[in-house]
Chain A
Amino acid sequence: MIESVVKLIVPIFSLAIVMYLVRAVKGPTIPDIVLAIDCIGYDLAAFMGILSLYFKSPYLISGAIVLALWSYLLDIYVSRYLLREVRV
């Protein structure tokens, strides 16, 4: 049962990631690009969870925590960089 659900879900996730990628390529400002890459990171974390359920392997889920924290780190670094650029 879970295999058919995963086969239904994977094209929808891939289409959403392609849409985020279009916004990340053509985004007019820097926060647009960072927001799109941020959403790609969180979606890849969820996608790795679903794939670990599909391939029956517990090793795939261990990268999801690191991926979520990496997206948060990207947000904080870029926002600090933008604020410092204003204050100087």
Chain B
Amino acid sequence: MILLYIGAALMIIGALCDLLAGIGMLRFKNFYLRLHAATVGTVGGAVVPLIGVALAALDMPSLPGRFAIAGASFITALIILLVAPAGSTALAYAAHRSGVEGNFHFDHLRGEEK
């Protein structure tokens, strides 16, 4: 019974993180600031509720195929936790190389100080 409450709490925390990430994605000024909102939206808004789904599905005996749901959602959470920072890093590097503007004080990747 305790796992169900922990899972529901994790799902609500994930929904709140997702709302904050959506507001940040609308309100931030340039691409490198929106990357912070995207990190909140992926790790806080997708990994945390999927772990909550896994914990809550383990504690519902009337659910058909509950071990399938728990295992698949846990593996999906692990995949997103590994893959989302790698994709964001590659996208940020490509955006910097292709000349997307940002308000930097120092630009160490280009090797100069503004």
Interface residues of A (CB under 8 A from B): 1-2, 5-6, 8-9, 12-13, 15-20, 22-23, 29, 31-32, 34-36, 38-39, 42-43, 45-46, 49-50, 52-53, 56-58, 61-62, 64-65, 68-69, 71-72, 75-76, 78-80, 82-83, 85-86
Contacts and interface: CB of A to CB of B under 8 A. Distances in A.
B26 A23 contact: yes
Given A46-B50, A82-B95, A82-B97, 6 more contacts: A2-B8, A42-B42, A64-B50, A79-B93, A83-B94, A86-B99
Contact of B76 (A45, A53, A80): A45
Interface in B63-93: 63-66, 68-69, 72-73, 75-76, 79-80, 83-84, 86-88, 90-93
Nearest to B79: A68
A34 B97 CA distance: 16
30 contacts: A1-B8, A2-B56, A5-B11, A5-B12, A8-B12, A15-B19, A16-B41, A16-B45, A31-B92, A31-B100, A32-B31, A35-B88, A39-B21, A42-B46, A42-B80, A49-B49, A49-B50, A49-B69, A50-B49, A56-B62, A56-B64, A57-B64, A65-B76, A72-B83, A72-B86, A75-B90, A79-B91, A79-B94, A86-B97, A86-B98
A53 B64 CA distance: 10
Interface of B: 4, 8, 11-12, 14-16, 18-19, 21-23, 25-26, 31, 34-35, 38, 41-42, 45-46, 49-50, 53, 56-57, 60, 62-66, 68-69, 72-73, 75-76, 79-80, 83-84, 86-88, 90-95, 97-100
B16 A12 contact: yes
Nearest to B16: A12
A68 B12 contact: no
B15 A13 contact: yes
Nearest to A67: B76
